[in-house]
């Protein structure tokens, strides 16, 4: 055998059918280059042949390199050249064992070449090697930007993918990207979204978490956990003695959880504040006013507010208003009152202390701004004091700077930190109504075009999903915001979009069609989508089906244009035949059939009347989704595919005995996490084995149906 590599002799012994000595010089040189890469810690591919079938093994020494190599193998050696590459956990034969030894406990991938495509596969590997040669290697320990990791963390939470969210959090910790305190806050968000209240309470890393100054989102998650753990459903009829006992239990679990109205983000927060105020000698007027104005519809809050009213203090008056509010603990009013008077050191000190107690980003920025209004001599004298100097530094650190943007246009224009978590805090105080009428949408659109095409692109991409959530919050997209939403969608899809922008565009299109748009607006959106079709690869089949599904389920103002779009999409789908998985091909065929279009992929050789093959046995399918149209369409497709299967639907907004029975009576439950309520998902996750719960992260009927197809054809 030619001298290629010391390990090659063993690898190419029988039963490996490749005879290196008989290969042409260019093929030997390719193998020599591939064998040389692992010595430098680089991922590589190695050819083998077994039972007259050519294989390509992917060798990677780390999970990160393995993920990159998987994407490269799908792109360069995917169908129809080879089957879909997969990870080899347990070797299936002697060649697998030999390849596994070469990974140094890393990742082993394998794909088998389709008969007749060996030359093309080899040529593609040669092209991939050329790409590797000209691409500068990033150091394996070079951290990704914190904004990108945070974006992936929040995307994983939205998709209810706990493993991926945990990996992102571990990457942040390993790279020291955020402080230990901020990492604990992210852990609260992780467990609050994908865990249980009990996990939040018992997690050793979160002991005494309530003693820290916390972002409002973290406080609200803890409040919801306290509500679920300690406040019974009939608490409003329990009376003051029972209320104080509940308040004591919450205080023991999370001391000082909610003590100010500005910390309230949900009815759970209002309940916790009302209960905590029962221990005040003189209940604060600001707390009572907040509870009565915003949360009185909750029976428990209304009952406690009435009890507090009788012993509350009268409003403060006079020149000592700021210090009086500070003394009584009404920290929101401290900030409001201080901004109306001439700044002086005593007031500034009280304001900083109040902002630290409030803990949110906006309060920190307001306090820093007030301190900076002091005369220079007074400011330097104040900050030279030990306590005040530390307070000021902590307030600046809270926002990674002394200022925060006051709206989306300023965020686009300025050089702000690449921190989606901070952006989420900042935008919570930005008014949507004022934004719509102040003429800012046009300015924002122009700035967005520039920002996605200059050095700001990375930061803006990481914050786009936060902007879309802000735009559609509180009951969905407002009709007055539809023109802006269409413009943003058009800009994103015409600024060299990646997968992140396309995912955001899909969510935005769904909201636009749910709210309703004009014919011209729909035509603008569809034109932008049509331009993307020619740029799509087969790996983005799920995005294509999502775009088709959203338009199929929603009423559109121009059905002819939708028909033309579907026809173009059909041409793209036809070009993918042989390169997409069978489950995706079946989904596309059903989608196109809904509009009278014919898509006939080359599926497995099954009689026309035979259902898709099943490796898992099931007779009853449960679908949980708040989108009734998507669930009904998916149910119809499931019955069409498997006539013997019973399909039941649930659209519950909260946990109940009926939902629990629905789950336990199903062989498999499809839970559409993009259309779900957290209280209901907790009940579902508790009531069924993990192996029988399928989390559907996408939108529409196609995501539900595809996930069931893939689950059904996997080995259990």
Confidence bin at 3 (pLDDT 50/70/90): low
Tell whether the torsion through CA atoms of 676, 232, 663 and 194 is positive or negative: positive
Q: Are 587 and 707 in contact (CB under 8 A)?
A: no
Model pLDDT for residues 575-597, shown as the tens digit of each residue: 888 778 888 888 899 889 887 88
User: Residue 604: what pLDDT?
Assistant: 47
The chain-wide mean pLDDT, for the chain, equals 85
- Alpha carbons within 13 angstroms on the beta-carbon side of residue 400 total 16
Measured distance CA(328)–CA(320) in Å, rounded: 12
User: Residue 606: what pLDDT?
Assistant: 38
Greatest mean pLDDT among 121-130, 143-152, 440-449 lies in 121-130
Confidence bin at 610 (pLDDT 50/70/90): very low
- The answer to whether domain 8-134 and domain 620-712 are alike in fold is no
Q: What is the mean pLDDT of residues 536-547?
A: 87
- CA 338 to the chain's CA centroid: 39
Q: Which residue has the tokens 């989606």?
A: 420
Q: Are 303 and 309 in contact (CB under 8 A)?
A: no
User: Residue 607: what pLDDT?
Assistant: 39
Domain ranges of the chain: 8-134, 143-207, 211-315, 321-398, 408-594, 620-712
Two tokens, residue 585: 């091909």
Residue 401 has pLDDT above 50, yes or no: yes
Q: What is the fold, at CATH topology level, of the domain defined by 8-134?
A: Gyrase A; domain 2 (3.30.1360)
Buried b / exposed e over 44-80, threshold 16 CB at 10 Å, is bbbbbbbeeebbbbbbbbbebbbeebbebbbebbbbe
Q: Which of 200-204, 517-521, 529-533, 574-578 has the lowest mean pLDDT?
A: 574-578
Confidence bin at 678 (pLDDT 50/70/90): low
Q: What is the fold, at CATH topology level, of the domain defined by 620-712?
A: Rossmann fold (3.40.50)
User: Residue 436: what pLDDT?
Assistant: 58
Measured distance CA(641)–CA(648) in Å, rounded: 15
User: Residue 438: what pLDDT?
Assistant: 56
Measured distance CA(31)–CA(53) in Å, rounded: 18
User: Residue 137: what pLDDT?
Assistant: 64
Tell whether the torsion through CA atoms of 139, 140, 145 and 146 is positive or negative: negative
Two tokens, residue 232: 């019974």
Q: Greater confidence, 696 or 682?
A: 696
Please classify residue 253 by burial: count the beta carbons closer than 10 Å to its beta carbon, then call 0-12 exposed, 13-18 middle and 19+ buried.
middle
- Pairing label, strands 646-650, 44-50: unpaired
User: Residue 609: what pLDDT?
Assistant: 40
- Please list the alpha-helical segments (H only) found in 7-109: 8-11, 25-36, 63-77, 94-101
User: Residue 647: what pLDDT?
Assistant: 94
User: Residue 319: what pLDDT?
Assistant: 42
Q: Which of 117-121, 375-379, 399-403 has the lowest mean pLDDT?
A: 399-403
Tell me what percent of the residues of the chain surpass a pLDDT of 90: 30
Please classify residue 552 by burial: count the beta carbons closer than 10 Å to its beta carbon, then call 0-12 exposed, 13-18 middle and 19+ buried.
buried
Q: Greater confidence, 316 or 146?
A: 146
User: Residue 318: what pLDDT?
Assistant: 39
Q: With the CA atoms of 235, 241, 244 and 246 taken in that order, what torsion angle do they form, in degrees rounded to the nearest 10?
A: -40
Predicted TM-score of the model (pTM)? 0.66
Confidence bin at 9 (pLDDT 50/70/90): confident
Give one DSSP letter per residue of 499-537, joined into a string.
HHHHHHHHHHHHHHHHH---HHHHHHHHHHHHHHHTT--
């Amino acid at each position: 055998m030619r001298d290629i590599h010391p390990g090659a002799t063993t690898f190419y012994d029988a039963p490996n059918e490749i005879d290196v000595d008989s290969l042409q010089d260019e093929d030997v040189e390719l193998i020599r280059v591939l064998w040389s890469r692992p010595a430098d810690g680089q991922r590589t591919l190695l050819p083998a042949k077994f039972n007259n079938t050519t294989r390509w093994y992917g060798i990677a020494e780390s999970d990160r390199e393995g993920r990159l190599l998987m994407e490269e193998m799908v792109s360069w050696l995917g169908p129809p050249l080879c089957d879909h590459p997969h990870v080899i956990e347990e070797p299936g034969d002697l060649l697998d064992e030999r390849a596994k030894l070469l990974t140094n406990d890393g990742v082993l991938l394998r794909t088998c070449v389709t008969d007749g495509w060996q030359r093309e596969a080899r040529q593609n590997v040669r092209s991939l090697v050329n790409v590797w040669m000209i691409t500068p290697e990033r150091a394996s320990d070079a951290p990704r930007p914190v904004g990108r990791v945070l974006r992936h963390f929040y995307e994983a939470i939205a998709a209810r993918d706990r493993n991926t969210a945990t990996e992102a959090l571990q990457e942040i910790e390993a790279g020291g990207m955020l402080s230990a305190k901020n990492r604990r806050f992210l852990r609260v968000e992780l467990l609050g979204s994908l865990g249980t209240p009990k996990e939040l309470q018992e997690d050793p890393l979160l002991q005494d978490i309530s003693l820290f100054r916390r972002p409002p989102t973290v406080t609200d998650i803890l409040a919801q956990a306290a509500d679920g753990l300690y406040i019974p459903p009939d608490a409003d009829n329990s009376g003051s003695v029972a209320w104080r006992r509940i308040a004591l239990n919450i205080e023991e679990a999370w001391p000082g959880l909610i003590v100010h109205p500005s910390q309230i983000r949900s009815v759970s927060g209002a309940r916790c504040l009302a209960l905590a105020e029962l221990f005040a000698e003189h209940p604060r007027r600001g707390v009572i006013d907040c509870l009565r104005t915003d949360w009185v519809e909750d029976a428990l809050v209304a009952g406690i507010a009435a009890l507090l009213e009788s012993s509350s203090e009268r409003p403060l008056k006079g020149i000592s208003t700021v210090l009086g509010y500070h003394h009584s603990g009404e920290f929101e009013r401290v900030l409001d009152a201080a901004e109306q008077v001439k700044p002086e050191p005593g007031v500034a000190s009280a304001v900083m202390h109040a902002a630290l107690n409030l803990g949110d980003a906006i309060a920190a920025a307001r306090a820093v701004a007030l301190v900076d209004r002091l005369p220079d001599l007074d400011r330097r004298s104040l900050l030279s004091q030990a306590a005040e100097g530390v307070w000021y530094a902590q307030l600046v650190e809270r926002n990674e700077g002394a200022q925060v943007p006051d709206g989306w246009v300023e965020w686009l224009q300025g050089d702000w930190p690449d921190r989606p978590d901070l952006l989420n805090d900042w935008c919570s105080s930005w008014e949507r109504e004022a934004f719509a009428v102040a003429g800012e949408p046009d300015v924002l659109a122009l700035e967005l075009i520039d920002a996605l095409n200059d050095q700001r692109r990375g930061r803006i991409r990481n914050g786009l999903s936060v902007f879309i959530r802000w735009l559609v919050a509180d009951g969905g997209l407002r009709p007055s915001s539809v023109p802006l939403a269409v413009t943003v969608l058009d800009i994103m899809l015409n600024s060299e979009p990646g997968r992140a922008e396309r995912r955001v565009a899909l969510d935005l299109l769904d909201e636009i069609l749910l709210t309703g748009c004009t014919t011209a607006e729909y035509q603008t959106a569809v034109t932008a989508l049509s331009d993307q079709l020619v740029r799509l690869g087969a790996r983005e089949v799920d995005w294509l089906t999502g775009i088709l599904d959203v338009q199929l389920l929603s009423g559109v103002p121009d059905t002819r244009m939708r028909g033309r779009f579907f026809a173009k999409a059909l041409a793209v789908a036809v070009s993918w035949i042989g390169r997409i998985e069978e489950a995706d091909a079946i989904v596309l065929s059903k989608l196109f059939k809904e509009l009278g279009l014919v898509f006939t992929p080359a599926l497995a050789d099954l009689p026309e009347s035979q259902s898709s093959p099943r490796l898992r046995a099931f007779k009853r399918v449960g679908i949980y989704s708040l989108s009734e149209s998507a669930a009904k369409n998916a149910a119809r497709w499931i019955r069409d595919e498997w006539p013997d299967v019973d399909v039941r639907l649930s659209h519950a907004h909260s946990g109940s005995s009926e939902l629990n029975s629905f789950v336990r009576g199903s062989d498999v439950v499809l839970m559409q996490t993009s259309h779900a309520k957290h209280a209901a998902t907790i009940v579902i996750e508790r009531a069924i084995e993990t192996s029988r719960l399928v989390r559907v992260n996408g939108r529409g009927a196609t995501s539900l149906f595809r996930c069931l197809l893939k689950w059904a054809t996997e080995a259990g």
